[in-house]
Amino acid sequence: MPFAWADLPRPIRALAPMEDVTDTVFRRIVARCGRPDVFFTEFIHTDIVLALRPDRPGLTPRLRFTPEERPLIAQIWGANPEHYRLAALRLRELGFDGIDINMGCPVRKIRKKGACAALILNPSLAADLIEAAKSAELPVSVKTRVGFSHVQTEEWIGHLLGQGIDALTVHVRTAEQESEGCADWEQIRTVVALRDAVALRTVILGNGDVRSTDQITDYVHRYAADGVMVGRGVFEDPYLFSTDGRAGRFPTASASGRVDLLESHLQLYRETWGEERNYEILKKFYKIYLTGFNGAEELREQLNATHDYTAAEEVIGAWRTGR
């Protein structure tokens, strides 16, 4: 059956797209710990999608995936409607389940290109990009924020809801806040009311500072959202989406349990990428696993001093032997 946002079980639990984090390897690690209902790729520029050669669909690591990660939504960004149309068609050929448009990334160099959060200031272009993405006849969703420099939920979110999108994820901060300040979840209540007022079927996900399974349940009930997208919270608990009782246990997991999961990540990364992707990217994951036990900081420092898989495995082996 084709993917449909409306068919997902409530509450919908989604893993947020995160730059240099949510590649095929990390998505599979999370799936094995406790899969969410839907995954997203790292965001990718439409021009990079268009540059892919038909005989080499795996040219960019951002679009590599396995059946284990489905349903998987490709998140794109850019500011050219025709490029969106062509990229959407290409993504359908590559087998993605849907297309998500990034209208929320606050990074200044990207905003200066008129893309992502800058689209909050250019609603007519935002509408054109959505219409172009629909060309592939895949579900189209948008991830955005409640405003640019100030909260403008009713006008901006109301405009997006008027474009007939299948799902809308709202990070409840403004673009200029980036990740600072409190996430204003009361805005989700407003978003849902806007959706309900015109009897739309658009799925509403809230995003911002969610760090536990209990918080997902609480926020969905309290703010009437269809689901929650979790980003940095999964770093504190890779089992956060688990429904078999493992969620919430990772913060107090044993040292060996944490190192076992790190080693699984290391091995899968090596099997998947080899020398194709920079080993150094792995280092940002070490802090996820190596914290909360005696010797964690020392082990992390030793691993951060390595520059290849073999050296990392030797450090882990020495740690196991020396315990």
- Each residue's pLDDT tens digit, 297-323: 999 999 999 999 999 999 999 999 986
pLDDT of residue 182: 87
pLDDT tens digits, 66-84: 999 999 999 999 999 999 9
200 and 284 belong to one structural domain: no
Q: Mark which of 200, 228, 247 sits at the end of a domain.
A: 247
Query: 295: phi > 0 → left, psi -120 to 50 → alpha, else beta; which?
Result: left
Whether residue 120 is contained in a domain is answered as yes
Q: Mark which of 247, 278, 294 sits at the end of a domain.
A: 247
CATH number at residue 144: 3.20.20.70
Whether residue 1 is contained in a domain is answered as no
In total, how many domains does the chain have?
Answer: 2
Q: Give the residue numbers annotated as catalytic, written as ranges.
A: 105
170 and 46 belong to one structural domain: yes
- CA dist., res. 124 & res. 110, Å (int): 18
pLDDT of residue 58: 55
pLDDT tens digits, 180-210: 988 999 999 999 999 999 888 999 999 999 9
133 and 279 belong to one structural domain: no
16 and 163 belong to one structural domain: yes
Whether residue 34 is contained in a domain is answered as yes
Strand partners, 72: 39
Q: Mark which of 222, 247, 272 sits at the end of a domain.
A: 247
155 and 13 belong to one structural domain: yes
Whether residue 218 is contained in a domain is answered as yes
105 and 122 belong to one structural domain: yes
End-to-end alpha-carbon separation of the chain, Å? 50
pLDDT tens digits, 230-262: 999 999 999 999 999 899 899 889 999 999 999
151 and 222 belong to one structural domain: yes
3-state SS, residue 264: helix
- Domain region containing 107: 7-247
114 and 262 belong to one structural domain: no
